[in-house]
Amino acid sequence: MTGTSATNAVNATNPGAVTVAGIDCGTNSIRLKISRVDANGYTDVLPRVLRVIRLGQDVDKTHRFADDALQRAYAAAGEFADLLAEHHVDGLRFVATSATRDAANREEFEDRIEGILGVRPEVIPGTEEARLSFLGATSVLGPEQDGTVPAPPYLVVDLGGGSTELVLGGDGVDAPADDVTAAFSMNIGSVRMTERHLLADPPTEEQIAEAVADIDEHIEEAFRTVPAERTGTIIGVSGTVTTMTALYMGLPEYNHSAVDGRRVPIADITAVNDRFLRMTREDRRAYKTIHPGRIDVVGGGALVWSRVLAKVAERANAARGEGTVTSYVASEHGLLDGIVLDYGRRLLAAR
């Protein structure tokens, strides 16, 4: 996809800028963002548009995309194509993650998406997903409401439907704080844990215990690659993290600006996570803060989030002293932001 005269006219006042679109197609949702990227970062032209499509429905069990999941994805892609036609971008990057990596019939999906949007989905490995999530999360990191600056090294946790990435950055001394020093992608997420373990409504204690054992095993494997004991600040990105943060805050409806940058004590969010994990789906529907597409899987995501927080804090506090890590920072910026920023920079460098 190339720029049109409309785009070039917009960028004529800033020849060092490009207008790019990014699509992040995950296990549970698909998201579009259009941004203008220059040497200073990016400015949104069209803020994030999200549709919950549950592309990963039953993929953990069947290793194939379900027909109805594909139809939901194609409908969302058609909607995005209409939006892109209105904005005339210089380029589009479509990134697909965990569910697409695991699906045997992914070529069918890729062919159809290319027919709708004119670009072929780029199925990225977990390590690239981790790098882009870290880039997006740290690109806007700044002083908090009380003026304090989050302490490096940063551990970005991108908790998706099918996978969860742990990405550690430098300490700002021996390595730049915004450089990735270690990353690992775990095959655990809100959809995968729900479909694998949390089958009852509400889940039984036995199912929860089985899920905890599964999650903890993956976290310990990740820690062999990512030295979580070095963590200075945990940054949580993705729908699960921001949804649970909004529920902790008691928001009557979801509010992006209120959640973004909010620091939350680990002990407090763990209590909220436990409460919503053990709710029935019908009880969760009473909370307008939860997107309807997350009602049945948010408990599984909350459990993953609790275990990651507990394990990271345990490691960091044991290595660096109690009180080193007692909270996390919620971020509205992650993989999608990293996609547009990285792609825009590459287009600028090629000029």
Handedness of CA 234, 315, 246, 342 (dihedral sign): positive
- Is the same domain home to 102 and 200? no
pTM of the complete model? 0.89
Same domain, 201 and 312: yes
Domain count, the chain: 2
Based on the domain organization, do 76 and 161 belong to the same domain?
no
Query: How do residues 274-307 score in pLDDT, each as one tens digit?
Result: 999 999 999 999 999 999 999 999 999 999 999 9
Q: Which of 54, 58, 69, 52 minimizes the C-alpha distance to 109? A: 69
For the chain, the C-alpha Rg in angstroms (whole number) is 20
Structure tokens at 264: 């939350």
Asked, for residue 321, whether it belongs to a domain, the answer is: yes
pLDDT tens digits for range 201-242 = 999 999 999 999 999 999 999 999 999 999 999 999 999 999
Domain match, 29 and 93 both: yes
Query: Please, are residues 108 and 310 in contact by the beta-carbon 8 Å criterion?
Result: no
Query: What is the C-alpha to C-alpha distance for residues 142 and 148, in angstroms, rounded to an integer?
Result: 9
Cα–Cα–Cα angle for 234, 235, 237, nearest 5°?
140
Q: How confident is the model at residue 127 (pLDDT cuts 50, 70, 90)?
A: confident
Strand partners, 41: 38
Contact (Cβ atoms closer than 8 angstroms) between residue 157 and residue 165: yes
User: Is the pLDDT confidence value at 268 over 60?
Assistant: yes
Q: Is residue 153 part of a domain?
A: yes
Does residue 163 lie in a domain region?
yes
User: What is the mean predicted confidence (pLDDT) over 78-83?
Assistant: 98
Range of the domain at 93: 5-125
Residue 283 to residue 350: CA distance in whole angstroms: 52
232, 280: one domain: yes
The predicted model gives 261-281 an average pLDDT of 97
Pair 324, 234 in one domain: yes
In a domain, 131, yes or no: no
171 shares a domain with 71? no
Condensed to tens digits (0 to 9), the pLDDT of residues 107-119 reads 999 999 999 999 9
The verdict on 102 and 248 lying in the same domain is: no
- The answer to whether 144 and 263 have CB atoms below 8 angstroms apart is yes
Same domain, 159 and 307: yes
341 assigned to some structural domain: no
In the predicted model, is pLDDT for residue 1 greater than 70? no
Residue 350 domain-assigned?
Answer: no
Q: Is residue 290 part of a domain?
A: yes
Question: Within a domain: residue 136?
Answer: no
pLDDT at position 140 is 81
Which CATH number is 257's domain given?
A: 3.30.420.150
The rounded percent of the chain whose pLDDT value lies above 90 is 80
**120 and 54: one domain?**
yes
Same domain, 248 and 200: yes
- CB–CB of 119/93 below 8 Å? yes
Q: What is the mean pLDDT of residues 262-272?
A: 97
Q: Which residues fall within 8 angstroms of residue 93, CB to CB, at 6 or more apart?
A: 20, 21, 22, 23, 119, 122, 339, 340, 343
CATH number of the domain to which 14 belongs = 3.30.420.40
Q: Are 113 and 212 in a shared domain?
A: no
DSSP letter string over 32-80? Answer: EEEEEEETTEEEEEEEEEEEE--TTTTHHHHSS--HHHHHHHHHHHHHH
